[in-house]
Amino acid sequence: MPFPTTGSVISTDLDNMLRGIYRDNSDSALTGTLVETTLKSVSIAANTIGPTGALHVVFGGKITGTAGTKIMKLKFGGTIIATTSDSAASVLDWYFDAWCLNTATNAQRWIVHLRQDSAVGDRVSFQTSSIDTTQNQTLLVTGQLGNAADALTATIFDVFVVQIT
């Protein structure tokens, strides 16, 4: 949908469109601990998604070291949406490409494309959740190392909202 070439953008011009709401593409490294740690996080303000809107979330990063298993989790509103892990021998990069589709302000359907371990490769995960999006909710990715000598680095964290009216 193109915007008018003259005049101002009005609210109806913004209906039914994708827009970025957050980006943090700086490196956030996890190393030296076995504790599950937040790598990237953002608060999604109340009513941002709307009753039939959606979030599109892209997280990704690098893995170094082969001493232990590395686990990454995608969470929204305190609920684990998807988990991916890599074995000790794996040093492949990781990512989540997730869509959160509100079917109501307290009901979501998630489709998550993610990479898991070299033995599994890419996969798709379907998940439902009952998170109240009329309240502020935290969207985050965590990492946990099986050996403190390894490292996880989150390098991409982009969040978009799709508002459908």
Check residue 142 and give its pLDDT: 96
Residue 6 lies in a domain: no
pLDDT at 1: 45
Residue 86 · residue 65 · CB < 8 Å: no
Predicted pLDDT at 90: 72
Neighbours of 65 (CB within 10 A): 18
Q: Is residue 12 part of a domain?
A: no
Residue 127 lies in a domain: yes
CATH number at 50 reads: 2.60.120
Number of domains in the chain: 1
Domain-embedded: residue 132: yes
Contact 108, 81 (CB under 8 A): no
The whole model's pTM is what? 0.86
Residue 63 located in a structural domain: yes
Predicted pLDDT at 108: 97
Q: Would residue 10 count as lying in a domain?
A: no
For residue 9, tell me if it sits in a domain: no
d(CA 102, CA 158): 19
Domain that holds residue 62: 19-138+145-163
Residue 118 Cα to chain centre, angstroms: 21
Collect the ranges in the chain with pLDDT lower than 70.
1-18, 116-121, 165
CA-based nearest residue to 123, from 107, 141, 111, 109: 111
Query: Quick check: is 13 in a domain?
Result: no
Provide the pLDDT for residue 118: 62
Looking at residue 160, its pLDDT comes to: 94
The pLDDT value given to residue 7: 59
